[in-house]
Structure 1
Amino acid sequence: MDSVGLGTIAREWGRIGCIGFGGPPAHIALLRDLCVVRRRWLSDAEFEDGVAVTNLLPGPASTQLAILCAWRLRGAAGAIVGGVCFIVPGLVLIIALAVLLLSDHAPSWVLGAAAGAGAAVPAVAAHAAYGLVPGSWKRVGAATAVRVRWVVYLVLGGVAAALTGPWLVLVLVAAGIVEMTVRVPSNRQVAWPVLAAMPAGGGLVWVAAKVGALSYGGGFVIIPLMREDAVHTYGWMTDSEFLNAVALGQITPGPVVQTIAVVGYAASGVTGALLAAAAAFAPSFAFVLLGGPRLERLRDNKRAQAFLTGAAAAAIGAIAGSVIPLALVLSHWWQFVLLAAAGAWLLLLRRGVVAALIGSGVVGALVSLL
């Protein structure tokens, strides 16, 4: 649709990037309101197809949906402008907060707020895993053998995240390949899921590329994917700082994957933050720009569906498994109180994630002042 100008795309996608608090559900709702309800640029069917297709791709689905919708309106130029404007507002904010938080002279109340919000992160991870189970289980179907394999993938992902962080990438990809092979046996190779696991380089670029290309099952799978490398392998940040990074990714607008920018800042300042963000979001742009019309075929591709079933189950297990090492990082008694309160807020009362993190941050700031 050439009648939609790049300036309009920049303005509207930038607006969503500024107000998109709440993660993928909020982003999808805002994009639908813009493209389907208010502007009528896309039909309901076109938008639903976009949601289905991006959920089959590795990487941050809501970011890919934003890029895909812009691509449908104005081709490659629209995809680049829309995607960048969707990502940049939250990225700028999270880098600014990282500069403040990781400063050598950060105010005590800022550190207290970060410790408080970080204390709620294990509960947020548990909430994310719990929320992903119904959809993944529904995708599995009624066959007993498939359900048994799904449980095995879930457990293996959890164990990998809790005990053997470096092997999580192999577990995710292996679960997808096994399920794909069992369900749709063939001698042909399907490149897109396998290529997602190939190293894109060393150090920061490789860590960021894993985040951008292997976020099967929701954005929170980035936690176990990043933690081992950022904290233990490369030592860019402490466990507490990593918790703070995850919290920042949740309370800022835009995609959760931009948490990688905080890791990049800890590794190499603002340059590292920008490099990490570029490496993490590059696969999303590549899928849309290079895939184009062929993406629609993924919705009916049985091999892609099977791969996602296995990989997503392992990813959900990894998210749940990450709760254990994240909780073990907490060092103050009041943080465990906040963790329990956040768990009750999210899992029992079923209230919002952002509110839990901000509330915990406020309590942490008050504790530090007292």
Structure 2
Amino acid sequence: MAGTEGDAGPGPGPAGAAPAPAVPLRTVLREWGRIGVIGFGGPPAHIRLLRQLCVERRGWLDATEFEDAIAVCNLMPGPASTQLAIFCAWRLRGRAGALVGGAGFFMPGLVVILALSVLFVSASPPLAVLGAGAGAGGAVPAVALAAGASLATPSWRNRPATARWFCYLAAGLAAAATIGPWLVAVLLACGAVELAVQRRRGPHPPTPDPPRERPHEQEREPGTEGGPGTEGGLGTEGGPGMLRGLAAAPLALTWAVGGGVLASIAWVAIKVGGLSFGGGFVIIPLMQADAVSRYHWMTGPQFLNAVALGQVTPGPVVQTVAVVGYAAAGIAGGLLASAVAFAPSFALVLLGARHFDRIRGDRRARAFLQGAGPAAIGAIFGSAITLAREISHPWQYLVLAGALVLLFPLRRGVVLTLLSAAAVGVTVALATGTVAP
């Protein structure tokens, strides 16, 4: 019967959720791969495409469960839209679906960004490529400001208190602009402070959401995926251990085979994939400090190119780390960086998806995010400062001003803005014979 094998059936879903249909793996690969190809625009675009597929067009998940999954993914560290894509695939086809769907989601962007890295991070790129990179790089600080602004309004609505919200925001901004390598410690500290403040107010009576009754709810036999004999649909024998091994495998292989630069790439990537609260831009100062200042894998302008490539290619913005890996150790470094960066997302969903309802209702998780969330938004604003410092040509400041106009008063998209900036850069380079007139 479907579901008796750990990989064969759909994931059980959170408590009270109706069983999802068992969708063929080839369908999961095709549909999630399609999103990976056309998913330009970052998390808002990815969430919209997943909703259209899973809720509106196919009816695989109901709207309430989908919104709950969005909320929980935003509570967890790591790229939220990637975790949402993995969760939706897990609901349809269990562990195998999660692995296939997650790979389909980020692999197209990885292929594209590594191909572009060969051009933009090479020792002597063509003049037109230099111009495109310099033009897009000039617009990147404006993109960071737009990313922070898009998150500020929802965070403000859920703020714990006005004064503390501004303090957390300021702490994140200052940390990103000054002590990039220690940014994550500041984010965690802000979350811990808010958690302590809310605890000091004294215990509150628990008010869990009542379980929602869903149509077609049915019992599962003991031992089937998600049934009473399993833990989170993982099976009683070796499931969690296997999944923890999945998360640790890229790191273990790195140390065993390469060490040295590969180990450094893996360490940077694990920080990017596991600590990026609020989106990929949060981790930009830390990645910049490692790639440019600590390991000297890239120059500052090359790092601007990497961030721009992460924005204009489809799939998650966290793919920027693949460019860093490529700059350090070629294609092998780019593949390793991507594998390690996405491993925490797979592990978090595969180990915890069945408990998403409880995670969302946990006041400690909410309190922590009410402190770390504003700090992460401040860090995104602060990343605009660190990125602007890497601008090296006067005409790039004009590009930056134009990008601000496109993104804010005119409300144009990020991809269009970066492509327009790249076109300006190509024009300048070809007209003057250099990117530094």
Q: TM-score range by the shorter chain?
A: over 0.9
Of 34, 42, 46, the residue aligned with 1:23 is: 42
Which residue number in structure 2 is paired with residue 293 of structure 1? 354
Secondary structure of the residue aligned to 1:35 is helix
Matches within 5 A, 1:154-173: 154-173=169-188
1:125 counterpart = 2:144: yes
1:63 counterpart = 2:114: no
Q: 5+ residue gaps in structure 1?
A: 188-199
CA deviation vs aligned residue, 1:97-149 (integer Å, no higher than 9, x gap): 001111223111011001000000011111111111111111115xxxx3212
Pairwise CA distance, 1:2: 5.1
Secondary structure of the residue aligned to 1:322 is helix
Contact 1:9-1:81 within 8 A present in 2 as well: yes
1:348 counterpart = 2:405: no
Matches within 5 A, 1:22-171: 22-141=41-160, 146-171=161-186
Matches within 5 A, 1:213-228: 213-228=274-289
Contact 2:301-2:392 within 8 A present in 1 as well: no
CA deviation vs aligned residue, 1:148-177 (integer Å, no higher than 9, x gap): 122111111111111111211110111111
Counterpart code for 2:132:
A
Contact 1:288-1:295 within 8 A present in 2 as well: no
1:274 counterpart = 2:335: yes
Moved >6 Å (runs of 4+): none
Sequence identity, in percent?
61
Contact 1:217-1:313 within 8 A present in 2 as well: no
1:366 counterpart = 2:385: no
In 1: Cα distance, 2:147 partner to 2:100 partner: 30
Counterpart code for 2:272:
V
Tell which deviates more after alignment, 328-337 or 358-367: 328-337
Q: 5+ residue gaps in structure 2?
A: 1-19, 204-250, 256-262, 432-437
Of 315, 318, 322, the residue aligned with 1:261 is: 322
Counterpart code for 1:148:
A
1:336 counterpart = 2:397: yes
CA deviation vs aligned residue, 1:167-197 (integer Å, no higher than 9, x gap): 111101111111112213599xxxxxxxxxx
In 2: Cα distance, 1:349 partner to 1:3 partner: 44
Which residue number in structure 2 is paired with residue 14 of structure 1? 33
CA radius of gyration, larger in? 2
Name the Cα RMSD after superposition: 1.5
Counterpart code for 1:108:
L
Counterpart code for 1:159:
A
- Could you tell me the TM-score, scaled by structure 1's length? 0.93
CA deviation vs aligned residue, 1:314-369 (integer Å, no higher than 9, x gap): 11111111222211221212101000000111122221111110000011011111
Contact 1:217-1:311 within 8 A present in 2 as well: no
1:308 counterpart = 2:366: no
In 2: Cα distance, 1:47 partner to 1:276 partner: 29
Contact 1:95-1:261 within 8 A present in 2 as well: yes
Secondary structure of the residue aligned to 1:67 is helix
In 2: Cα distance, 1:342 partner to 1:108 partner: 22
Counterpart code for 1:139:
N
Which residue number in structure 1 is paired with residue 208 of structure 2? none
CA deviation vs aligned residue, 1:191-246 (integer Å, no higher than 9, x gap): xxxxxxxxx79521121111111111222212112111111011110110000000
In 1: Cα distance, 2:286 partner to 2:374 partner: 15
- Could you tell me the TM-score, scaled by structure 2's length? 0.79
Of 283, 292, 296, the residue aligned with 2:344 is: 283
Contact 1:35-1:42 within 8 A present in 2 as well: yes
